[in-house]
Amino acid sequence: MKTAILILAAGNSTRMGTAKQLLPYKNTTLLGYTIEQAKQSRANATFCVLGASAEPIKKSIENYESEIILNPNFNDGLSSSIVAGINEIKNKGFNSVLIILADQPNVNSNYLDELLKTSQQNPLKITASNYNSKIGVPAIFPKNYFNQLLKLEGDKGAKNILNNNKADIIKMPSFNLTDIDTKEDYQNLIS
């Protein structure tokens, strides 16, 4: 089974006030760390969707051999990055896509491998992360969901697909999946 990792890193970081993809973290940046974890996982390829601040971000990750996908519509929200990514990978022979965010530093290669292993045992089901009362990304979508992913709009990402297909979802055991959205979140992370 071939799985592509799609890292969503096109956002404006409005609440942070600066490009959070470039924030220093563990001898690299938040995005660099996410790419490192993706590359260390058992996935077959890593793609990175960029939009806001694309040039400086692209420069910061040029050593990582991650394929860059530019999303010119990044202002339309998270969904536009998923659409840009799926459009790029849909004809490249992948059976599934693992969608992750660039601002979840607790997501490491071990967790990604757990998702991949669970997905391989349930190849037609969505494998999603469990946030106690809700489900979200990182999540693996089999190819039979690519057309639904291509129809997404707005800033909800894949939330509607996850909510509308609950019977077809394998929930991972709960895990500390903190998002880094504000300066305070970042300070808590690095302290």
Grouping H, G, I as helix, E, B as strand and the rest as coil, residue 123 is coil
CA atoms of 191 and 131, how far apart (whole Å): 24
Output the pLDDT for position 125. Answer: 97
Contact 64, 36 (CB under 8 A): yes
Domain count, the chain: 1
Residue 14 pLDDT more than 80?
Answer: no
Residue 7 pLDDT more than 90?
Answer: yes
pLDDT in tens, 29-82: 999 999 999 999 999 999 999 999 999 999 999 999 899 999 999 999 999 999
Contact 19, 114 (CB under 8 A): no
CA atoms of 4 and 140, how far apart (whole Å): 9
Output the pLDDT for position 146. Answer: 97
Output the pLDDT for position 162. Answer: 93
- Domain around 142: 3-190
Residue 91, CA atoms < 13 Å, CB-side half-sphere: 3
pLDDT in tens, 126-183: 999 998 778 999 999 999 999 999 999 988 889 889 999 989 999 998 777 888 888 9
CA atoms of 107 and 50, how far apart (whole Å): 19
Residue 28 pLDDT more than 90?
Answer: yes
Q: How many CB atoms lie within 10 A of CB 108?
A: 16
Per-residue burial over 144-169, b if 16 or more Cβ lie within 10 Å, else e, is: ebbeebeebeeeebbbebbeebeeeb
Output the pLDDT for position 177. Answer: 80
Residue 139's closest CA among 30, 14, 148, 182? Answer: 148
Q: Which tokens in the block code for residue 182?
A: 């504000």
* CATH number where 68 lies: 3.90.550.10
Output the pLDDT for position 62. Answer: 92
Output the pLDDT for position 53. Answer: 93
pLDDT in tens, 70-129: 999 999 999 999 999 999 999 999 999 999 999 999 999 999 999 999 999 999 999 999
CA atoms of 111 and 118, how far apart (whole Å): 11
Main-chain phi, psi angles of 162, to 5 degrees: -65, -45
